[in-house]
Amino acid sequence: MKERSRAVPVDLAPYADNTGITSARATAAGAFNLWGNTFPAGELPPPGTAVVDGLPFRFPLAPAGEPDNVRCAGQLLPLPPGRYDWIQLLAAAERRTEDQALLHYADGAVDPEWLRVSDFWPQTRSRFGAAPAYECRVLHYPRHVDDKFGPVVWRHRVPVPRESDLAAVRLPDNPAIHVFAMTLVPALVPATEGAA
């Protein structure tokens, strides 16, 4: 028998540097991509805890129009130390792309692991086998709301293979990748070990 403790949402607010979500009243307040497209706040969870596929995420706490996602530029994110199986992400990319994140363990070990993120652009399926977290019905442009199609926030995951405490993750330097939320899924631990 194995059991898993509760998932650990990570606060990305201190690292948010891109505004990808706007309200319909102020669509020019952000620019997820070069053309100023943004996700519609009205179709995404309110700031705070959101549950996706049974996993709790700390959805961006910023009000619509304020920085709400981390554009990957090699940031080192400290994590609550612990044994984890997965780093789960709510993320989207400007065209699909991939790079290696660097997993820093508490004992000083560092392993690269692939972070693959699917395209936010509407009507584009994931080529990485990701699950859509939020499929919006409209896409925001700086001067209008287009209701012909909507962007997608994807749920992706990065494995944590090493059987030791994870302490931090360095995101890749790839500005096409945007991360909205991150949750650590604790490792399955044998019941006897957990009880010791």
Interface ranges with other proteins (CB under 8 A): 34-36, 73, 93-99, 119, 121-125, 127, 139, 141-144, 146, 148-149, 173-176
* Backbone torsion region of residue 65, taken as left when φ is above 0, otherwise alpha when ψ lies between -120 and 50, otherwise beta: left
Question: What would you measure as the largest C-alpha separation in the chain, in angstroms?
Answer: 60
Closer CB to other proteins, 72 or 185, in the complex: 72
**Measured torsion, CA atoms of residues 30, 36, 38, 41, in degrees rounded to the nearest 10:** 40
Closer CB to other proteins, 9 or 172, in the complex: 172
The residue count for the chain:
196
Tokens standing for residue 49: 């805890």
Closer CB to other proteins, 43 or 98, in the complex: 98
Closer CB to other proteins, 49 or 123, in the complex: 123
Single-letter residue type at 62: A
The answer for residues whose C-beta is within 8 angstroms of residue 153's C-beta and 6 or more apart is 39, 44, 90, 91, 92, 120, 132, 133, 134, 136, 180
Minimum distance from residue 177 beta carbon to other proteins (Å): 8
Minimum distance from residue 21 beta carbon to other proteins (Å): 18
